[in-house]
Amino acid sequence: MGQEFLNLTDPDEVKRIIKNLTINRKTEKVHLTETYGRILAENVHATIDLPPFDRASMDGYAVHAKDTFSATEDHPVILNLLEVVKAGNVPKKNLLKGNCVEVGTGAPLPSEADAVVMVEFTNTEEDQIKIYDAVAPGENIASRGSDIEKGNILLKSGTIINPNKIGVLSAIGMSYVKVFTRPRVAVISTGNELIKPNEDLKYGQAYDINSETISSAVKSCGCEPIHAGIAKDDYNHLKDKISQFFDADIIITSGGTSAGAGDVLSEVVEDIGKVLVHGISVKPGKPTLIGTLPDENVDKIIFGLPGYPVAALVVFQVFAAPLLRRMAGIKEYKQKKEVIKFRVSNRYHSARGRSQYVLVKIREDQAHPILKDSGAITAFAEADGFFEVPKNVEIVEKGDEIGVIPLSRL
């Protein structure tokens, strides 16, 4: 029989250990077309005033505002039309008193103009424009630098680049952007019984679930998964597999962490590096291992997740994901936003003495606990997220408000 864990580490202490690990954030410059989903590695300052010139915010007529003050529907003001300026063109004539210039939305204004009359309040008769409504100075004008002035911060470091942020970068003419390099994460599944999804399943075997599950979770943290394949529950085979991926920024295994016979990850890590945590006082996920491998200047981190898919994914989200997001440059406040408040649909009894993570499905704005063990695949199919029950809480009452953590950022 295998040896049971002797020293379970409190989850808060595990988080402290992880937070104190030395990490290496790398940066690179990528073309604007390759920035979607990346994380800004520096503040972006406006390289130009936005707008870059005084421009019309409506289709209409650029005027001296004073020329319109007496305009009414019954007694319109009549101005002479000097020229037509569309977006992309430049005014050529001086705007003198008693005149106007037709402008399209976004068109630059004559330097003398201080307002734009909307076309809806005008009427054209040859080269004369009747104006039926007065405008105030500055009305319907987007002044140079009114959006943001050159040199001011436009986007902050740590911002996730999405379509509207790409639009912002385009607006100031940026073609290359400094972003955090995506950390490379080697994902290894361990187990003599595991086979690839495209292989024929024989008696006693099981398809590898965790490789794709954890790899997808790695992507959601702004990192790049490396599909490292399956390792046998054999010391030499597992050690060789880990050694093949020393160039990765972090290594994540699943399975092979329990204290039972044949689980050898702790031996491998202890021999080539250092085991920091082996056993966490949580359910599911007690047999989790965290260690470091030899590397220069930084801690080469290895996470050993439990083999059961539910336990592996929950432990990943609670302990590994915050570290990966920190390595990827995603700010902590963005992680906190993920917790969503719901009320529990029915009473839940928790395990004594250790924190528990409970899978839930969300229906009709309530969190419904999924009462299945961490090996149940149907729990995966039903789950939308999970909530934590602290170790000093034994009962969560029906209607209690809880914070649900989504199983994915998507």
pLDDT at 166 over 90: yes
Interval 325-368: pLDDT, tens: 999 998 765 555 678 999 999 999 987 788 999 999 999 999 99
pLDDT at 164 over 60: yes
* Residues 191 and 156 occupy one common structural domain: no
Q: How far apart are the first and last CA of the chain?
A: 42
* Residues 35 and 107 occupy one common structural domain: no
Rounded to the nearest 5 percent, the helix, strand and coil shares of the chain are 20, 30, 45
CATH code of the domain in which 207 resides: 3.40.980.10
pTM, two decimals, is 0.80
225: tokens are 């998964």
pLDDT in the model for residue 258: 64
CB 401 within 8 A of CB 343: yes
Interval 134-159: pLDDT, tens: 999 999 999 999 999 999 999 999 99
* Residues 326 and 255 occupy one common structural domain: yes
* Residues 230 and 262 occupy one common structural domain: yes
pLDDT in the model for residue 295: 80
Whether 3 maps to a domain, the answer reads: no
Counts for the chain of helices (H) and strands (E), in that order: 9, 28
**Whole-number percent of the chain with pLDDT over 90:** 81
Whether 4 maps to a domain, the answer reads: no
Average pLDDT over residues 186-212: 94
pLDDT at 204 over 60: yes
CATH code of the domain in which 369 resides: 2.40.340.10
**Amino acid (1-letter code) at residue 7:** N
User: Which of 288, 308, 334 represents a domain boundary (last residue)?
Assistant: 334
Instruction: Please give the distance of CA 284 from its chain centroid, rounded to a whole number.
Output: 26
pLDDT at 201 over 90: yes
pLDDT at 1 over 50: no
* Residues 247 and 193 occupy one common structural domain: yes
pLDDT at 213 over 60: yes
pLDDT in the model for residue 113: 97
CATH code of the domain in which 42 resides: 3.90.105.10
* Pick from 48, 56, 59, 54: nearest CA to 111: 54
* Residues 291 and 196 occupy one common structural domain: yes
Interval 3-22: pLDDT, tens: 555 579 999 999 999 999 98
Place of tokens 């529990």: 344
| Neighbour-count burial of 333, counting CB atoms closer than 10 A to its CB (0-12 exposed, 13-18 middle, 19+ buried) | exposed
* Pick from 160, 197, 174, 147: nearest CA to 335: 160
Mean pLDDT of the chain: 91
pLDDT at 199 over 50: yes
pLDDT in the model for residue 262: 46
Average pLDDT over residues 299-328: 93
* Residues 323 and 255 occupy one common structural domain: yes
* Residues 37 and 153 occupy one common structural domain: yes
Can you name the residues that pair with 7 across neighbouring β-strands? none
- Interstrand relation of 300-305 and 250-254 (parallel, antiparallel or unpaired): parallel
Can you name the residues that pair with 27 across neighbouring β-strands? 180
Average pLDDT over residues 166-180: 96
pLDDT in the model for residue 371: 86
* Pick from 340, 355, 345: nearest CA to 406: 340
401: tokens are 């408000």
CB 179 within 8 A of CB 198: no
Give the DSSP per-residue string, 254-291: ES--SSSTT--HHHHHHHHSEEEEE-BSEES-TT-EEE
Whether 1 maps to a domain, the answer reads: no
Interval 39-87: pLDDT, tens: 999 999 999 999 999 999 999 999 999 999 999 999 999 999 999 999 9
Interval 78-132: pLDDT, tens: 999 999 999 999 999 999 999 999 999 999 999 999 999 999 999 999 889 999 9
* Pick from 151, 152, 150, 155: nearest CA to 178: 155
Strand (E) or helix (H) holding 14: helix 11-19
What is the DSSP secondary structure assignment for residue 50, as one 8-state letter?
B
Is the preceding peptide bond at 284 cis, omega within 30 degrees of 0?
A: yes
What is the CA angle 16-291-248, rounded to 5?
Answer: 110
Rg (Cα) of the chain, in Å, rounded? 31
Contacts of 5 (CB under 8 A, 6+ apart): 259, 278, 279, 286, 287
* Residues 65 and 85 occupy one common structural domain: yes
* Residues 197 and 247 occupy one common structural domain: yes
pLDDT in the model for residue 256: 73
pLDDT in the model for residue 24: 84
Total number of domains in the chain: 4
CATH code of the domain in which 64 resides: 2.170.190.11
Would you place residue 269 in the very low, low, confident or very high pLDDT band (cuts 50, 70, 90)? very high
Full domain range(s) for residue 64: 55-142
What is the DSSP secondary structure assignment for residue 2, as one 8-state letter?
P
Whether 6 maps to a domain, the answer reads: no
User: Which of 292, 318, 334 represents a domain boundary (last residue)?
Assistant: 334
* Residues 223 and 286 occupy one common structural domain: yes
Distance CA(369)–CA(375), nearest Å, equals: 16
List of long-range contacts for 85-92, beta carbons under 8 Å, 24+ apart: 85/110, 91/62
Average pLDDT over residues 201-212: 94
* Residues 176 and 319 occupy one common structural domain: no
Whether 285 maps to a domain, the answer reads: yes
Interval 377-392: pLDDT, tens: 788 788 999 999 998 8
